[in-house]
Amino acid sequence: MFEVYKFKVSAVIGANFGDEGKGLVTDWLASKSDNAIVVLHNGGPQRAHTVTTPEGREHIYRHIGAGTFAGAATYIAKPFICNPMIFKEEYEKLMPKLFNRPKIYIDRRCKFTTFYDMIINQAREIERGVAKHGSCGLGIYETICRYRDKEFVFQQEVISPYGISIGEFAALSYLGKYNYLKSLKKYYTEKRIDQTKIHKMPVELEKALESEVAIQNYISDFEFMIEKCALVDGPDFLHSYDDVIFENGQGLLLDQDNMEYYPHLTPSHTGLYNINEILKECYFTGCINVYYVSRTYMTRHGAGRFDTECEKKDINFFMWDRTNVPNMFQDTLRYGALDYKELAARIASESKKSDYPVTTSLVLTHLNEYGGYGRMGEYKKLAADGVYISDNFTRNSVISAQYVL
């Protein structure tokens, strides 16, 4: 007879194209608990969730949960794609800002990105030029394609479409890891480069593709990640926490199944789908408190449809986004007006996809940049169970709209 687990579950979901303020909301929720864990369950470290504490500590969370400053642990669940290189970089930047070493768990079944995946991803975007997809250049899509390739051969055996997991790679000897990465190089140079129609590899990326030192460094980074984390066999251990906070990456409009905005989507589920699957796996019974997050305007990074797009000056000429700086793959952050009726419809539609009872709240951020308190009556109609607002960067700025006239 299996044990039924009951704990408080919250989900922080971006309501638009991402960049809504999910890190702020995750930190706020984690700060209200003495025994919380944040679950990362979609996409990979292309997320960039900025958290600033009331006393001024700041970090951009990618591979670690945004509740870490508040003392929450992190669970990297099966659907999340790990990147040891980015993990090490982030961990070393974060540690001097913390008072205690964070608890981080990784599901043994996770996929992982290699530097080869990143090289092909970046070369492909450069090849496309102005017609680029808008990828972050972190190899997420290439990783997924590799795991789905039924013809990928390692040690004379055809690997399943899901490839080798983090747990399986960790169990290999150093030589086994080296041989696996060498086989990946062969896979990319003999097959994937042609498939992706890369005609000319940039010189620096070609050097990295041929580098033996890069293989050695990658193995070192992977072993660093495994040393700092605990590998777990699924989500059963979540029952030891009072509060489980699912921190989604990206936003609902970028969900892989949102064909209305195809093809410029993210290759993951950005709503409740993964959350349902993880909770069912650990026999959860209870309610999900869903917090949909939106700025008072809209943003989009990268290419793709944006119906309400306008110039930045039409929102606020003087505002400055501290996280979303222009880059060669996604260019400059784009801005647009927020259609409140469509936002309410998105929230209502996504909430119906839950396999569990839900409470539905909306958190509107960046009131200091656009909108202010002038539309408070309109805000309060947008979610069934509560509307919260924030006009600053720290958790202390999040308040219930019911207290504002």
| DSSP reduced 3-state for 247 | strand
Cα–Cα distance between 268 and 276 in angstroms, integer? 14
Quick one: average pLDDT of 157-175?
A: 84
pLDDT band at 1 (very low <50, low <70, confident <90, very high): very low
Extended beta strands in 58-143, E state: 58-61, 73-76, 81-82, 104-107, 111-112
Which of 12, 17, 8, 10 lies closest to 258, judged by CA? 17
Q: What pLDDT is stored for residue 130 in this prediction? A: 41
Q: Per residue in 360-397, pLDDT tens? A: 999 999 999 998 787 777 777 787 789 999 999 999 99
pLDDT of 226 over the 80 cut: yes
4 band by pLDDT with thresholds 50, 70 and 90: low
- The angle at the Cα of 308, spanning 303 to 309, to the nearest 5 degrees, equals 50
Radius of gyration (C-alpha) of the chain in whole angstroms: 21
Residues 315-321 have a mean pLDDT of: 87
Report pLDDT digits (tens) over 259-278: 999 999 999 999 999 999 99
Q: What is the mean pLDDT of residues 331-357?
A: 93
Q: How many helices (H) and strands (E) does the chain have?
A: 13, 19
What is the tens place of the pLDDT at every residue in 91-108?
999 999 999 999 999 999
Q: What pLDDT sits at residue 198? A: 85
Percent of the chain with pLDDT over 90: 73
Exposure on the CB side of residue 149, measured as CA atoms within 13 A = 17
CA distance 81 to 35: 25
Reported confidence tier of residue 132, pLDDT bands at 50, 70, 90 = very low
Q: How confident is the model at residue 325 (pLDDT cuts 50, 70, 90)?
A: low
Reading the block at residue 283, the tokens are 């026999």
Question: Which residues are within 8 A (CB) of 400 and not within 5 positions of it... i.e. 6 or more apart?
Answer: 386, 387, 388, 389
Residues 6 or more apart whose Cβ sits within 8 Å of residue 165: 108, 109, 110, 111, 112
pTM passes above 0.75: yes
| pLDDT score of 322 | 65
Answer whether residue 326 shows pLDDT above 70.
no
Q: At residue 133, does pLDDT exceed 50?
A: no
Strand partners, 370: none
pLDDT for the residue 254: 97
